[in-house]
Structure 1
């Protein structure tokens, strides 16, 4: 067995085996928000705060100070915000993002010698101890800070130090707030510790957080049956969409549609001579992903349509479907981008048992993947140049993750205002990973969450856990692919209930219209979620003036959303007890509680349901000892409630929901009362 001396001699300890700075005493850990050890950025929109917390502590009993450091990537120097102790060595700091693009943030902490001295001096003074030597120590600390300060502050600090040297009668000067502020400003932060990682925030424009989407097939916009719609027809439809209060109009693919293996009505394998085919079978002799279907018009017609939409406050969103029909120019020009089967034919798209014979997927494992990536980026930039800044991405989970991370970063580097919506109805972890990679918004499982328990569990996950830092939900009660059983059988009340849920649970939501407002509910077959006579495969004529249309109600709901800022965010969602499982109740509030919205929905589309709703009045800044008014913004009815528990009753044949605004009693100087 070796002796200690032999071990030391054999190891030949050198200075390089010591840490770079052994005098760093502060530990920083469990920083939040931090996604996957800093691998991915969190998300915010302009003017939103970033609240950062961390466990910060040091050995011994010395006081610790900490700052939150942040900067935009274009900014060479760091800005700082103070961090304060919350409890149990947990610290918190906040900064606000004010520009599009990417910010960085981290935490810096150190043992604060002045704070330690001042804290201990206060204790000694309270114990009536002799502090003459302590004052000399403090004077030295203050003089050292004066040497680092400018002329004016340096002189002020030296005057403090001089008076402390005069003796104990000036001890109280050491505890003045002005001195503490000066010492914090000129602290040299000895042996400061910085958090081990620098983290990122992706900052988007407000529409990424709060948006109201309407999906429409341009070819079905003709004002008379039997004719293929054009962009001019779409232009005429815009006032109708704006009148309902939508600010994003999403168009399925507007490109030429292939002829080979074209699908017929209701997805039949044989198309008739007049069948238009699926818009997702992209590409023909007229061009591919950067071309316009000639039946819709020209590129100039499209630009005019986009401009007219903008004049009405509507932003046009396009579909990014990176796949091809067998007739796409890519198939001839770049056969290396497609996978071939042993018989020499190109592998068409499949999701067994579903087959998409009219669609060829790209082979992202091709040796020529770089050229493929560059071309798809060129396609996106082409539409950006036409004024498009919102893209709904079709089935992103069927393309490589790294491709999306690269493509979104490349586009947003020069056009940070661009929004990408992920249409990935797949496994939760895949959906979340796509959001982490950079997708601005994401489709959700909302369409299939029908019971109170399902809705509360799911939206608590989306809004109250780490998921909210990177996953922005966009709620759709229907899409061209999704006609849920609830809508198939629940009649008009089911459409109203799902509309109110989507519009109030989420800050961003959308509907596929006119199918939704006209309550289209007949499936292709029992057990299917496909529409009978689906617009994906044929041109439909829609009677927008139908008396049963929900358009007026949709307009009212969207106006409520615009007029109540509480409904324009996701994180403020709170569920409340109702003693009936068919009723769901939740509030959204602004930070200052000036806007409090309570939504109650009857989830049963067939029967009247009633129950008692219990609210935490103190948390809502409502005096529990006085009555308060709830104003139903849907019906304009007003009710006077008392206390925390009140009765509600909803007949789905009349209206299956309340959207209440809580109004508090206000007394004027003349003893006149009203509700605000």
Structure 2
């Protein structure tokens, strides 16, 4: 800070400005600070912000917060992808100082003789304002200054034109003694960085055929997988995430259910990357060719979606890097390369990367691989276990990629310590998996959402009810109602959510004593009878489709900063809302966490957060059932999970 007035606690500021904050195009980004001055003269505060090309945008005047706290708040709305910067300025506002004093003196009964100096000083301030206001307002300001100097007019006639300039001179103030902060950065992504719906599936399972004991008869290809894409698009998903599509290691290949010894027919884990058929820049030959993959990408785009590719930085024992770059790995005392371990678990089919042996060559090789796929049309990477890789590598790689391709997004699959998850967001990851899966009570979810809202400037959540690795016990035992509950929570709470295929078929059987699926698709082909499930009505797909359509139709659900919780007197229920300031669209959700019992509750709504006065009545339309109710601040709610475990209301003013 340089200048006359203190400016403190500027936000958004990530780690004291060390990292850029995050936003997306069109997002209203709150800016705040604490600023104050001595005495009774008026202080003004504004935001000056600059676009990616360094051009200065019209400054945003900040408004004071709660009286006595010296807090100031404003909003900026970036409209392009790239690195934006902003500074906060505090200044003496002589017009407001003058106006406040004159209003108080007139209110105290002082007359023309008492206010002679005030009127002259006010005219001088307006002379300065003439040079600042837009040209179409200059004559109005000149006339107000002339009135202040006209001794033939009454006091009311002299001061009224100047007092009426309050709004104009709020937007175009006379600024003196301007104090400026350092520059703060905001990286602005395209909107899909915040709002997206992901669908994960294994291309090799689509069109596959298996025999007894899951012995593969026919392997799926990109061409057969493309036949699944219309159904995914019809459910309302916009990101198709594929597990690794590279050659799979043959040495120490794992068998079904992660057994140590594979049968000759076993397909292995896609995350054991690399063989004599190629490494991270190659396509698994049974899936097809690079041209086939490009065709798959084009088909996905034709359906209004895009492909997210897995970036798993590890290698199978027969990966080409093991021969060409053995320094990328750790050599043990006996001369062998160390395989991955998470004691007592052992992953003999995977060699982890060593980030300390030849860092520069390693990072350059990975950058080459990433850009290879960017050049094929991939703009989203789901990064496997980024928390087991060097953080400074991501801090280098992600901005490096964005230098030439700013639309590329990175999702962190980091189920790890909060400090690491937050750190990965700070150094550049666009989104992150979260602990959503393990928040299974209304209180836990509300408390966790508070944590995520507090970290939104650097970490955006993506909620997944399930993954190939995670089948939570709530889905194992909760039945179809719990599948609906978790899907509602994921899709309504978070602007970005995702699911692993099989959720729509209520797949719920776990390997005994674990949170992993039995007969896990990570290690075998798993063709599914989608059409049969639809015909029999044993499919969650129509419900998922409904939720994604609700999301698309309601802009309030495209954001996270607008999430607000409301009180309900039953701990099994959660009540929350989202409101879009531009459209006035408001969504109100009441959902149960109990998949077995009917729950009653009474809501106490924070009406201003819904854009309403405390006394107002309004209509709510349930977007799932179509039912309509008349509501107010206090409402009784009954939820039967076997009928419908949630209300997703859109508000209509009466």
TM-score computed with the length of structure 2 as normaliser: 0.90
Identify if the C-alpha distance between structure 1 residues 497 and 85 changes in structure 2 by more than 3 Å, giving closer, same or farther. closer
The answer as to 2:89 corresponding to 1:108 is yes
Deviations 1:330-374 (A, max 9, x none): 1111112111001001111111122111111111111x2111111
User: Counterpart in 2 of 1:543?
Assistant: 529
**Other structure's SS at 1:577 match:** strand
296, 299, 309: which one aligns with 1:308: 299
Q: CA deviation at 1:473?
A: 0.8
**In structure 1, C-alpha distance between the alignment counterparts of 2:303 and 2:460, rounded to whole Å:** 26
Q: CA deviation at 1:468?
A: 1.9
- Show the 5 A alignment for 1:568-583: 568-583=558-573
Deviations 1:112-170 (A, max 9, x none): 34443444345455511434444444555555666889999889877766665564748
Q: CA deviation at 1:562?
A: 1.2
**In structure 2, C-alpha distance between the alignment counterparts of 1:502 and 1:557, rounded to whole Å:** 10
Identify if the C-alpha distance between structure 1 residues 123 and 419 changes in structure 2 by more than 3 Å, giving closer, same or farther. same
User: Counterpart in 2 of 1:49?
Assistant: 28
Equivalent pair of 1:142/1:183 in contact (CA under 8 Å): no
- Show the 5 A alignment for 1:71-220: 71-77=50-56, 79-86=58-65, 87-88=67-68, 89-126=70-107, 127-128=110-111, 129-141=113-125, 167=151, 169=153, 171-172=158-159, 175-178=162-165, 181=168, 185=172, 187=174, 189-195=175-181, 197-220=182-205
Q: CA deviation at 1:486?
A: 0.9
User: Counterpart in 1 of 2:516?
Assistant: 530
**In structure 2, C-alpha distance between the alignment counterparts of 1:52 and 1:343, rounded to whole Å:** 57
Equivalent pair of 2:150/2:158 in contact (CA under 8 Å): no
Q: CA deviation at 1:185?
A: 4.9
User: Counterpart in 2 of 1:519?
Assistant: 506
**In structure 1, C-alpha distance between the alignment counterparts of 2:171 and 2:578, rounded to whole Å:** 39
User: Counterpart in 1 of 2:359?
Assistant: 369
Q: CA deviation at 1:639?
A: 4.2
The answer as to 2:472 corresponding to 1:484 is yes
- Show the 5 A alignment for 1:260-299: 260-299=251-290
Q: CA deviation at 1:311?
A: 0.6
**Other structure's SS at 2:625 match:** coil
Equivalent pair of 2:208/2:525 in contact (CA under 8 Å): no
Equivalent pair of 1:394/1:422 in contact (CA under 8 Å): yes
Equivalent pair of 1:101/1:413 in contact (CA under 8 Å): no
**In structure 2, C-alpha distance between the alignment counterparts of 1:315 and 1:287, rounded to whole Å:** 25
Q: CA deviation at 1:326?
A: 1.1
**In structure 1, C-alpha distance between the alignment counterparts of 2:123 and 2:605, rounded to whole Å:** 56
Q: CA deviation at 1:174?
A: 7.3
User: Counterpart in 1 of 2:649?
Assistant: 660
Equivalent pair of 2:147/2:161 in contact (CA under 8 Å): no
User: Counterpart in 2 of 1:673?
Assistant: none
The answer as to 2:203 corresponding to 1:222 is no
Q: CA deviation at 1:238?
A: 0.6
User: Counterpart in 1 of 2:213?
Assistant: none
Q: CA deviation at 1:38?
A: 1.1
Identify if the C-alpha distance between structure 1 residues 615 and 288 changes in structure 2 by more than 3 Å, giving closer, same or farther. same
Deviations 1:235-285 (A, max 9, x none): 111111111111100000000111111111111111111111110111111
**In structure 2, C-alpha distance between the alignment counterparts of 1:462 and 1:469, rounded to whole Å:** 10
Deviations 1:380-432 (A, max 9, x none): 11111111111101001011111111111111122111111110000112111
- Show the 5 A alignment for 1:416-435: 416-435=406-425
**In structure 1, C-alpha distance between the alignment counterparts of 2:646 and 2:95, rounded to whole Å:** 59
**Other structure's SS at 1:655 match:** coil
The answer as to 2:47 corresponding to 1:68 is yes
Identify if the C-alpha distance between structure 1 residues 561 and 159 changes in structure 2 by more than 3 Å, giving closer, same or farther. closer
492, 499, 517: which one aligns with 1:504: 492
Q: CA deviation at 1:435?
A: 0.9
User: Counterpart in 1 of 2:214?
Assistant: none
**In structure 2, C-alpha distance between the alignment counterparts of 1:161 and 1:627, rounded to whole Å:** 48
**In structure 2, C-alpha distance between the alignment counterparts of 1:640 and 1:521, rounded to whole Å:** 35
Equivalent pair of 1:586/1:599 in contact (CA under 8 Å): yes
**In structure 2, C-alpha distance between the alignment counterparts of 1:186 and 1:499, rounded to whole Å:** 50
User: Counterpart in 1 of 2:621?
Assistant: 631
**Other structure's SS at 1:191 match:** strand
Q: CA deviation at 1:608?
A: 2.9
**Other structure's SS at 1:469 match:** coil
Deviations 1:200-247 (A, max 9, x none): 111111111111100001110116443110000111111111111111
Q: CA deviation at 1:587?
A: 2.2
Identify if the C-alpha distance between structure 1 residues 245 and 29 changes in structure 2 by more than 3 Å, giving closer, same or farther. same
Equivalent pair of 1:564/1:595 in contact (CA under 8 Å): yes
Identify if the C-alpha distance between structure 1 residues 594 and 323 changes in structure 2 by more than 3 Å, giving closer, same or farther. same
Any stretches of 5+ residues in structure 2 without a counterpart? 211-216
**In structure 2, C-alpha distance between the alignment counterparts of 1:192 and 1:615, rounded to whole Å:** 43
Identify if the C-alpha distance between structure 1 residues 659 and 63 changes in structure 2 by more than 3 Å, giving closer, same or farther. closer
**In structure 1, C-alpha distance between the alignment counterparts of 2:459 and 2:632, rounded to whole Å:** 37
Deviations 1:645-666 (A, max 9, x none): 333333333332232333443x
**Other structure's SS at 1:511 match:** strand
Q: CA deviation at 1:62?
A: 2.2
Which protein is bigger by CA-based radius of gyration? 1
Compare 356-365 and 607-616 and name the one that shifted more. 607-616
Equivalent pair of 1:122/1:175 in contact (CA under 8 Å): no
User: Counterpart in 2 of 1:8?
Assistant: none
The answer as to 2:599 corresponding to 1:609 is yes
Q: CA deviation at 1:450?
A: 0.7
Compare 295-304 and 499-508 and name the one that shifted more. 499-508
**Other structure's SS at 1:192 match:** strand
**Other structure's SS at 1:575 match:** strand
**Other structure's SS at 1:659 match:** strand
Equivalent pair of 1:132/1:168 in contact (CA under 8 Å): no
User: Counterpart in 1 of 2:448?
Assistant: 458
Identify if the C-alpha distance between structure 1 residues 603 and 50 changes in structure 2 by more than 3 Å, giving closer, same or farther. closer
**Other structure's SS at 1:521 match:** coil
Equivalent pair of 2:149/2:158 in contact (CA under 8 Å): no
Equivalent pair of 1:145/1:183 in contact (CA under 8 Å): no
**In structure 1, C-alpha distance between the alignment counterparts of 2:311 and 2:632, rounded to whole Å:** 52
Any stretches of 5+ residues in structure 1 without a counterpart? 1-19, 666-676
**Other structure's SS at 2:7 match:** strand
TM-score computed with the length of structure 1 as normaliser: 0.88
User: Counterpart in 1 of 2:463?
Assistant: 475
Identify if the C-alpha distance between structure 1 residues 342 and 460 changes in structure 2 by more than 3 Å, giving closer, same or farther. same
Q: CA deviation at 1:184?
A: 7.9
The answer as to 2:388 corresponding to 1:407 is no
Identify if the C-alpha distance between structure 1 residues 661 and 143 changes in structure 2 by more than 3 Å, giving closer, same or farther. closer
